[in-house]
Homo-oligomer: A and B are copies of this chain.
Amino acid sequence: MSPPVILVDPLPRTLDLIMEPDVRARLERLGRVVVSEDKPMDDATIDALLPETALIFGQTAMPAERIARAAKLKAIINVETNFLPNVDYEACQTRGIPVITPGSAFAPPVAEAALGLALDLARGITAADRAMRAGTEEYGLAGNRDTFRFAGAPVGLIGFGDLGRNLRDLIRPFRNPVAVYDPWLPGEIIERADCRPASLEDVLSTSKVIFVFASVTSENQHFIGAREFAMMQKDTAFLLMSRAAVVDFPAMLDAVRSGHIRAATDVFPEEPVAPDDPVRKVEGLILSAHRTGGTVDALYAIGRMAVADAELIMRGLPPQLCRRADPAVASRLRSKPVSVT
């Protein structure tokens, strides 16, 4: 009997970026691995392999007719981490083929950076460094006129998926009261994490530090706009960590420029940001070029999680580390595919 085929079509990622040698060796032990990583796998190869394919690692287009021909397919493992519309999720569900992705791999580095940015905004780290370079520093208490302690400050989380939960765990020693707005979750999930379920208005108006970890859907684009920024307290620290499209970006910049809030952002409406984009000059804003998640260790975690779940699936067991695409949810999500890793 021929070994099962494992079709690897990982662009924009490559296997070397997501798998350390020992993980790749584990992948090789699962079947006959066929890789295309200089370009997307060509249709002829895909069509030839499909009948024997047990696993797809990557973002291969899988319309219903291909799924029908992949009689031995056990799972599709997206390694780009956004569910794309090129898979027929309903057809996969009907066949009992899970479509999964190790997207939570990015949560630890993003949450770590989010805390770093929040401490910076609260305690004035970047600002104090600039002041000292400009010769305008003040010492001791005078140097803390515009700062506040992160410890104990009311924190608001908008979105409580992997990112929010990672951040929540990182800040436990600071003993903040934490309010969470996440309309996709029952209050019980939020309360179990020692947080308080809250409305968006409540989070915006009572928090001193607000982290935005929400996904973009067809329904929530720009849901944080001028009206919402006006609800925030003066000097609130606002951190945009997930997707630029959830906020009205110009309204955010206005709120920062006017001195109403201070902010940090890792995402921008258009990336790369244009050389002359005025966002580059906004005072009171910490800029990060969509780089808090893309760390070497996060990419290796993608490969490690994908292969560990592939091992379970080949043994007839359910995956444990990757998230499943829910057809209803997948169709709501509006992430753009990444063009850079």
Contacts and interface: CB of A to CB of B under 8 A. Distances in A.
Interface of A: 17, 90, 93-94, 96, 108-109, 112-113, 115-117, 119-120, 122-123, 125-126, 128-129, 131-133, 135, 137-144, 147, 149-151, 169-174, 184-189, 271-273, 275, 280-281, 286-297, 299, 304-305, 308-309, 311-312, 316-318, 320-321, 326-329, 338, 340-341
Given A93-B96, A116-B123, A280-B133, A317 B289 contact: no
Nearest to A108: B151
B174 A173 contact: no
Contacts of A131: 289
8 contacts: A90-B96, A108-B151, A112-B174, A116-B119, A123-B292, A132-B280, A135-B275, A144-B291
Contacts of A292: 123
Contact of A138 (B186, B289, B304): B289
A252 to B, nearest CB: 16
For the residues of A in contact with B, the DSSP-based class is: helix
State how many copies of this chain the complex holds.
4
Contact of A338 (B140, B142, B304): B140
Given A133-B280, A149-B295, A113 B117 contact: no
A113 to B, nearest CB: 5
B144 A125 contact: no
B112 A291 contact: no
Given A93-B93, A116-B123, A295 B189 contact: no
B272 A139 contact: yes
A129 B288 contact: yes
A114 to B, nearest CB: 10
B328 A289 contact: no
> Taking each of A129, A133, A297, which has the highest tally of chain B beta carbons within 10 Å of its own beta carbon?
A129
A195 to B, nearest CB: 13
B109 A149 contact: yes
Given A125-B116, A141-B17, A291-B128, A149 B297 contact: yes
Given A115-B119, A316-B328, A144 B295 contact: yes
Given A113-B119, A132-B280, A140-B294, A288 B328 contact: no
Nearest to A281: B133
